[in-house]
């Protein structure tokens, strides 16, 4: 039997098993390994009992005919029926333990097991698979048993000797006595594949079953087209017999020719005879398709195994390794490390095989590394063939990650693409596209296409579910998708394991939990940097490898996961890990040089995509502040501004298509820009991009309905002007025209105007001055809104406008918000007189009364009023703040001002901007240094060592708390 014959037979049996069409027929040869008698030994007992002379006279050399196997038990029964049953009881009802062959049969999980044995060895194995089967030994059992899988004891059970089939009359009357069992077994012959084990080719039972098949086939005229069945035999048979059985579609698997290494690999101590060991090895091979490697060349084996990936654009690395049948490897960021040199050499020998390397590259493998070789024995796959990444799919993905969505639409119109790819990218442009909605709401579109693979059909069905979920459809259920992937073949379940985990849970939850652990370790490293480490970015590379795999898996395979919380959850730890590596590491902590120290991780294109698309805006802002991260690093020469320009042009483009999800990602991109160390030329490029956005009517409408976008855009502009870059006059005009009341009256917009006042171009701009003047009429402001607006715009007003409106502000300052009044007083528009003081006192009393009654709001009105007064006091605009004394219980700041000696200086928080303001004031700094120097120094030094001290904290500490002798210590 050739290797090809072996592999062909084993694969057909596996296929039948995967399709729930395998029936294993178990003969006496299996029970023989538990020391139960074979059929021949049982007949010998009866022949001895009745003194059957042909046998008794020639025991050593006698061979029973097929006829004698049935007639001798019949003779014994006819002679003495009582003795007949006593012999059966004595020989068969003996203690016996299940053997490894029984166990492997159950491990194979055939649809049914049929046996002509009477014992209980199969059903008594300790394998939990037993629970899946109902034991049936009579027609009655078949009637009352309800199950999908049976162990059918077609010749009866030891517990019911009267029902046992052994003698000739039992066989002759089988049809009449066991009509239901026979009918059921015959029904299986039609569409199931039978595997016979424990039978010889001369076995009457085998011949009876084969005769049933012959009869059914000839009756229905399907002799030539009927499926094969299989029998495992030990030893080569002659060609005449081989042809005889082949003509009856029974393929003989000769276990005697098996590779000795395989038999040795599967050796079991309870199977002493070689025949049993070889039979067991055959069954294990059927159970484990990785053993196909023993029957074919390694490259042919892999290519055959990889066929399941033919329609997969991005293969998940773990799935590829499972299908390849290799272990003892580790994948990280494109490198596959081999800890077994033999396996490495096998793979190294295949790097010239383009077909195999295509699969490897699809799984993200860029390099092979022999980990046992300390010289870093790398083989780089990319050097083999640089022409592999030019597909339309790669072009579309490149446009997607560069936020060039309009170009995507041009490609979709120009190129002929599979429907699934086409509509995935159309959905990226807009989920509200009528064509997209029709495609995902009408499964017949795809199901009618017979060429689609099960992998892609599962994705289509899952996408349909996701689309309906996003559309808030009432009939949205994942059950159909789960049923579909539950019907995957064994090979598909192994090859599409990652897809299945996504469909079940939205992501791989096991990985998410592992990410938390890696993040925690990385945070600890950057919080207390080690003197030296081989992990330059903590555990970030481990998370990045899996994060990238996940990103490319659902992007390249077209899974609509972008807008779901499970995807945000998956990337959350990686995003935090990237951000924590942006902490400043002090030079003196860098132990043994850069190569052995913690470093800042430079963000690349995919990292930015992950943050922009999947970060939770509130979380990353909080995390950046919490970890005191001031600047984010990017890969060398990375053009962040060009990417942002693409992003903003895409916002304008997709808003035309009623895509209101993508524009919301502006929040995350803006945060990245604000925390980037942008050069002056980058700032200058940024300004016209923002202007284009503000000029777009759709964006303005979107911004007005999403207050966070408006606030973030102003924060970004404040960042620009604080960096010393001027904004265009047009931007100021657009802001005046389009901002909401909340944004217009907010702190950020006011701060932008204050910074712009340093450049007279704005106060000289007729366009800006006209815009300010006309705003009241256009916006229909009430008196309070108008005066608040005037205070905000006052810094960039022309001298004429200032003269015109300062009088109005003075007359109506009582209508101005107390926090805004700080600006009015600091700009010397008005003085802090008794009237203004009474306004503050009145506000404070009112806020205090509401606080006592349990009223609360954010920001706290009492805190705002108190802090406003304190700021004016620190600015020198209010000398006497005695009116605040009665509010001391509500404010730590007032406790310090009025009772500096008894104040608890451990409460002083350097992260609180108000305390920094106190430290900048000569009077109060002296009080703090005198009474709380130790506490302040301890907190400042701690923050410095942890690398979380702000610039203000550093300035205050070095200027006022450290003398020349101690300066270099910190």
Domain boundaries, position 456: 392-505
| Final residue of a structural domain among 351, 380, 409 | 380
Kindly provide the residue ranges of all beta strands, DSSP E only, lying in 216-308, ordered along the sequence. 229-233, 250-254
Residue 353 sits in the same domain as residue 288: no
Spatial distance between the Cα atoms of 871 and 9, rounded to a whole number of angstroms: 88
In a domain, 775, yes or no: no
Measured distance CA(250)–CA(214) in Å, rounded: 11
Average pLDDT over the chain, rounded to an integer:
88
Inter-residue contact 877 to 825 (CB < 8 Å): yes
Q: Are residues 671 and 626 in the same domain?
A: no
Q: Is residue 622 part of a domain?
A: yes
> Does residue 738 share a domain with residue 604?
no
Q: For the segment 194-235, what is each residue's pLDDT rounded down to a tens digit?
A: 999 999 998 888 988 888 888 877 765 555 567 889 999 998
Both 644 and 512 in a single domain?
no
Interior angle at CA 323, CA 321 and CA 329, nearest 5: 20
Residue 373 inside a domain? The answer is yes
**Hey, is 833 helix, strand or coil?**
coil
**Domain count of the chain?**
6
Q: Answer yes or no: do 136 and 277 share one domain.
A: yes
Domain boundary pick from 52, 73, 93: 93
CB neighbourhood size of 880 (10 A): 9
In a domain, 19, yes or no: yes
List strand residue ranges (DSSP E) for 785-856, in order.
Answer: none
Same-domain check for residues 522 and 626? yes
CATH code at position 28: 3.40.50.1220
Q: Domain boundary at 475, 505, 535, which?
A: 505
Residue 130 falls within a domain, yes or no? yes
Which DSSP letter does residue 153 get?
E
Domain co-membership, 152 together with 187: yes
Q: Assess whether 559 and 619 both reside in one domain.
A: yes
pTM of the full predicted structure?
A: 0.78
SS3 31: helix
Burial status of residue 345 (CB atoms within 10 A of its CB: 0-12, 13-18, 19 or more): exposed
Q: Are residues 272 and 175 in the same domain?
A: yes
Residues 624 and 643 in one domain: no
- Tell whether 418 is covered by a domain: yes
With CA atoms as reference, report the closest residue to 210 among 199, 221, 583: 199
**β-bridge partners, 378:** 369
Residues 649 and 694 both lie in one domain = yes
pLDDT at 384: 47
Judgement on whether residues 472 and 489 belong to the same structural domain of the protein: yes
Residues in the chain: 970
Please tell me the distance from the alpha carbon of residue 300 to that of residue 172, in angstroms, as a whole number: 51
What is the Cα 239 distance to its own chain's centre?
Answer: 56
> Does a cis peptide bond (omega within 30 degrees of 0) precede residue 226?
no
Which parts of the chain sit beneath pLDDT 70? 219-225, 374-377, 382-390, 443-450, 586-596, 814-815, 817-821, 855-859, 946-948, 963-970
* 27 within some domain: yes
Angle at 568 between CA 564 and CA 570, to 5 degrees: 115
Helix (H, G, I), strand (E, B) or coil at 306: helix
Task: Please indicate, yes or no, if residue 232 is contained in any of the structural domains.
Answer: yes
Angle at 705 between CA 700 and CA 709, to 5 degrees: 70
């Amino acid at each position: 039997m050739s290797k090809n014959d072996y592999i062909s037979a084993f694969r057909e049996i596996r296929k039948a098993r995967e399709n729930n069409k395998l029936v294993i027929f178990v003969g006496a040869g299996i029970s023989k390994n538990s020391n139960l008698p074979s059929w021949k030994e049982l007949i010998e007992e009866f022949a001895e009992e009745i003194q059957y002379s042909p046998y008794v006279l020639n025991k050593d050399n006698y061979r029973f005919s097929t006829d004698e196997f049935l007639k001798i038990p019949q003779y014994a029964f006819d002679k003495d029926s009582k003795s007949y049953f006593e012999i059966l009881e004595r020989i068969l009802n003996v203690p016996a333990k299940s053997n490894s062959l029984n166990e492997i049969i159950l491990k194979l999980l055939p649809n049914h097991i049929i046996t002509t044995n009477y014992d209980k060895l199969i059903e008594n194995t300790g394998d939990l698979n037993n629970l899946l089967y109902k034991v049936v030994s009579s027609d009655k059992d078949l009637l009352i048993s309800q199950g999908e899988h049976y162990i059918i004891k077609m010749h009866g059970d030891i517990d019911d000797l009267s029902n046992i089939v052994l003698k000739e009359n039992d066989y002759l009357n089988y049809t009449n006595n066991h009509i239901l069992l026979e009918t059921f077994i015959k029904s299986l012959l039609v569409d199931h594949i039978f595997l016979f084990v424990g039978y010889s080719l001369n076995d009457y039972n085998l011949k009876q079953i084969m005769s049933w098949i012959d009869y059914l086939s000839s009756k229905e005229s399907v002799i030539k087209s009927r499926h094969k069945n299989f029998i495992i035999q030990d030893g080569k048979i002659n060609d005449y017999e081989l042809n005889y059985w082949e003509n009856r579609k029974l393929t003989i698997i000769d276990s005697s020719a098996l590779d000795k290494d395989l038999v040795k690999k599967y050796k079991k101590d309870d199977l002493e005879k070689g025949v049993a060991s070889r039979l067991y090895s055959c069954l294990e091979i059927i159970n484990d398709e990785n053993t196909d490697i023993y029957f074919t060349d390694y490259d042919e084996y892999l290519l055959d195994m990889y066929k399941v990936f033919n329609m997969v654009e991005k293969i998940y690395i773990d799935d590829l390794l499972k299908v390849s049948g290799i272990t003892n490897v580790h994948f990280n960021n494109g490198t596959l490390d081999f800890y077994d040199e033999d396996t490495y050499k096998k793979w190294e020998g295949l790097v010239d095989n383009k077909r195999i390397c295509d699969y490897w590259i699809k799984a993200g493998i860029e390099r092979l590394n022999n980990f046992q070789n300390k010289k870093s024995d790398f083989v780089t796959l990319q050097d083999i063939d640089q022409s592999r990444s030019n597909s339309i799919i790669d072009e579309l993905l490149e446009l997607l990650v560069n936020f060039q969505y309009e170009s995507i639409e041009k490609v979709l119109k120009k190129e002929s693409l599979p429907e699934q790819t086409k509509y995935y990218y159309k959905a990226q442009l807009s989920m509200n596209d009528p064509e997209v909605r029709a495609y995902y709401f009408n499964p017949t579109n795809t199901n009618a296409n017979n060429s689609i693979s099960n992998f892609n059909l599962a994705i289509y069905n899952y996408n349909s579910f996701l689309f309906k979920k996003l559309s808030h459809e009432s009939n949205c259920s994942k059950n159909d998708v789960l049923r579909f992937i539950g019907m995957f073949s064994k090979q598909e379940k192994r090859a599409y394991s990652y897809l299945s985990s996504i469909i079940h849970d939205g992501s791989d939850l096991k990985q998410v939990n592992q990410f938390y652990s890696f993040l925690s370790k990385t945070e600890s490293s950057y919080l207390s940097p080690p003197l030296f480490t081989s992990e330059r970015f903590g555990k970030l590379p481990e998370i990045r490898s899996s994060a990238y795999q996940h990103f490319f898996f659902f992007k390249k395979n077209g899974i609509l996961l972008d807008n779901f919380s499970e995807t945000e959850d998956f990337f959350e730890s990686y995003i935090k890990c990237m951000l924590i590596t942006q902490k400043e590491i002090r030079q003196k902590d860098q132990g043994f040089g850069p190569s052995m120290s913690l470093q800042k991780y430079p963000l690349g294109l995919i990292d930015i995509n992950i943050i922009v698309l999947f970060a939770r805006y509130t979380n990353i802002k909080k995390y950046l502040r919490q970890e005191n991260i001031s600047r984010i690093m990017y890969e060398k020469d990375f053009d962040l501004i060009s990417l942002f320009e693409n992003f903003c042009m895409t916002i304008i483009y997709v808003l035309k298509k009623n895509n209101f999800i993508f524009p919301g990602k502006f929040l995350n991109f803006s945060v990245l820009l604000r925390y980037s160390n942008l050069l002056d030329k980058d700032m200058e490029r940024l300004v016209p991009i923002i202007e284009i956005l503000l000029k777009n009517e759709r964006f303005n409408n979107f911004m007005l309905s999403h207050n966070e976008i408006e606030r973030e855009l102003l924060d970004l502009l404040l960042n620009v002007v604080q960096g010393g870059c001027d904004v265009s006059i047009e931007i100021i005009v657009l802001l005046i025209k389009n901002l909401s009341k909340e944004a217009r009256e907010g702190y950020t917009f006011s701060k932008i105007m204050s910074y712009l006042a340093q450049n007279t171009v704005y106060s000289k701009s007729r366009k800006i001055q006209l815009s300010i003047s006309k705003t009241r009429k256009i916006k229909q402001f009430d008196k309070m809104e108008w005066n608040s607006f005037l205070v905000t715009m006052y810094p960039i007003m022309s001298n004429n406008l200032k003269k015109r409106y300062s009088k109005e502000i003075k007359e109506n300052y009582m209508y101005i918000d107390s926090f805004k009044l700080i600006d009015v007083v600091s700009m010397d528009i008005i003085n802090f007189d008794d009237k203004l003081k009474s306004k503050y006192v009145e506000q404070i009393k009112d806020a205090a009364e509401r606080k006592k009654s349990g009223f609360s709001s954010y920001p706290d009105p009492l805190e705002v009023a108190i802090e406003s007064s304190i700021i004016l006091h620190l600015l020198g605009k209010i000398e006497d703040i005695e009116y605040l004394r009665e509010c001391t219980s509500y404010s730590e700041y007032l406790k310090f001002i009025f009772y500096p000696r008894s104040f608890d200086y451990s409460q002083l928080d350097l992260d609180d901007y108000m305390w920094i303001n106190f430290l900048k004031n000569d009077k109060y700094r002296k009080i703090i240094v005198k009474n709380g120097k130790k506490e302040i120094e301890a907190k400042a030094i701690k923050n410095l060592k942890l690398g979380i001290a702000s610039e203000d904290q550093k300035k205050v500490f070095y200027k006022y708390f450290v003398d020349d002798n101690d300066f270099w210590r910190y």
